[in-house]
Amino acid sequence: MGCILSLLVGICARAAVGYLYVSTELLTTVFNSVVWPLVGFVFMPLSTLAYTWAVTDPRGTSVPHMLLVGMCVLTDLFIMGISLRRRKH
């Protein structure tokens, strides 16, 4: 499962979020409702994956986990900004 998930994240983060939602219960254990994974699927898939990993890591949540989540938030915002800029031109 780890290899399939790694390939999906590299190719398409939304497919990896969908795969996690369908095949495991990680997203339902991290988020209390269906709304937040759906919002993450649509707007910030990398951040959703990083936050899910950070919260469910058996070693606990630490500073490197949160740094990765922060980097993924910035990456998602950057990708959204690029796509909005392309639509204007």
pLDDT tens across 28-40, in order?
Answer: 889 888 898 888 8
Structure tokens that stand for 58 in this block: 């058996």
Structural domains of the chain, count: 1
End-to-end CA distance of the chain: 41
Burial-class residue 78 by CB neighbours within 10 Å (0-12, 13-18, 19+): exposed
Question: 43: closest CA among 10, 5, 88, 73?
Answer: 73
For residue 59, what are the domain limits? 2-88
Task: Give the pLDDT score at 9.
Answer: 64
Structure tokens that stand for 49 in this block: 């994956």
Task: Give the pLDDT score at 66.
Answer: 93
pLDDT tens across 37-86, in order?
Answer: 888 888 899 999 999 989 998 888 889 999 999 999 999 899 888 777 77
**pTM for the full model?**
0.79
Task: Give the pLDDT score at 2.
Answer: 62
Task: Give the pLDDT score at 5.
Answer: 63
